[in-house]
Chains A and B, each alone.
Chain A
Amino acid sequence: KQEVTQIPAALSVPEGENLVLNCSFTDSAIYNLQWFRQDPGKGLTSLLLIQSSQREQTSGRLNASLDKSSGRSTLYIAASQPGDSATYLCAVPNRDDKIIFGKGTRLHILP
């Protein structure tokens, strides 16, 4: 059974710092991994999708890496801004093609 864990559950950092969010999954037989952003009371916005054949994806200040063999992914945010404050979720498909989400990391960027 696929399980997704995100560490830390919450994080507060001063504006301008670089930071890393972690995601681990128990079943490495995945074909992609996706990072989402969720603002309070809102739906999800897809940030990055990494295919299983890729090791990383970049979009602006965001960089996501994937290490299938160790069951880990990281989301790197460079030069953080107050607007980055949100909950970040990672998600992977299980063997039945259902998407399994982590509980997310609540990020707060201090102005």
Chain B
Amino acid sequence: SAVISQKPSRDICQRGTSLTIQCQVDSQVTMMFWYRQQPGQSLTLIATANQGSEATYESGFVIDKFPISRPNLTFSTLTVSNMSPEDSSIYLCSVAGTGYGMDIQYFGAGTRLSVL
């Protein structure tokens, strides 16, 4: 199993500001994922973060809005930039070990973001 620590657990931010969410894993993992869950909706993948390369963004998400860092195999950050109320969501990081498709996917506790 993997233990994921995600910070902050929640935050209330002003429009136009940025927030960086941190995700720390207790073991080295190849792939880390960032998801968004808007109110009443299921999870949507924002991007996949691989160590040593640029993150891969899903349709509808761009690097300028959601820059991601992956400096090593146990840590990643997601920044929500120039926030608007529409960015109010729960943001979750997730990891899978080797053999991505066959492994259980583990999630952090999430960051609940409210933008005023």
Residue A93 lies at the interface, judged by CB distance under 8 Å to chain B: yes
By beta carbon, the residue of chain A nearest B100 is A97
Is there an interface contact between B101 and A43, defined as CB atoms closer than 8 Å? no
Given the interface contacts A43-B109, A44-B92, does A104 sit within 8 Å of B42 by beta carbon?
A: yes
B112 touching A41, Cβ below 8 Å: yes
Contact (Cβ within 8 A) B90 A41 = yes
Contact residues in A for B105 (Cβ distance below 8 Å): 34, 46, 91, 99
Q: How far is the CB of A69 from chain B (nearest CB, A)?
A: 19
What band does the interface of chain A fall in when counting residues whose beta carbon is under 8 Å from B? 20 to 34
- Bound Cα distance A36, B105 (Å): 10
Q: Does A61 contact B (CB under 8 A)?
A: no
Question: How near does chain A come to B62, taking the closest CB pair, in angstroms?
Answer: 17
Q: Is A31 an interface residue (CB 8 A)?
A: yes
The reply to whether B107 and A45 contact each other, CB–CB distance below 8 Å, is yes
Which residue of chain A has the shortest Cβ distance to B92 in the bound complex?
A: A43
Question: Is A49 at the interface (CB under 8 A from chain B)?
Answer: yes
A-B contact pairs, 10 of them (CB 8 A): A31-B102, A34-B105, A43-B92, A44-B94, A45-B107, A51-B102, A89-B42, A91-B105, A101-B42, A102-B42
Q: Tell me if A44 and B102 are in contact (CB < 8 A).
A: no
- B contact residues, range: 20 to 34
Chain B: residues with CB nearer than 8 A to chain A? Answer: 6, 33, 41-43, 45, 48, 58, 90, 92, 94, 100-102, 104-110, 112
Chain B residues near A104 (CB-CB < 8 A) = 42
**Closest 5 pairs between A and B when the two form their complex, measured CB to CB:** A44-B107, A43-B110, A43-B109, A103-B42, A101-B42
B107 and A43 within 8 A (CB): yes
With A31-B101, A44-B107, A98-B58 as given contacts, are A89 and B112 in contact (CB-CB < 8 Å)?
Answer: no
Best-buried of A41, A43, A44, A104 by chain B (most CB within 10 Å): A43
Q: 1/0 per residue A78-111: CB within 8 Å of B?
A: 0000000000010101000111011110000000
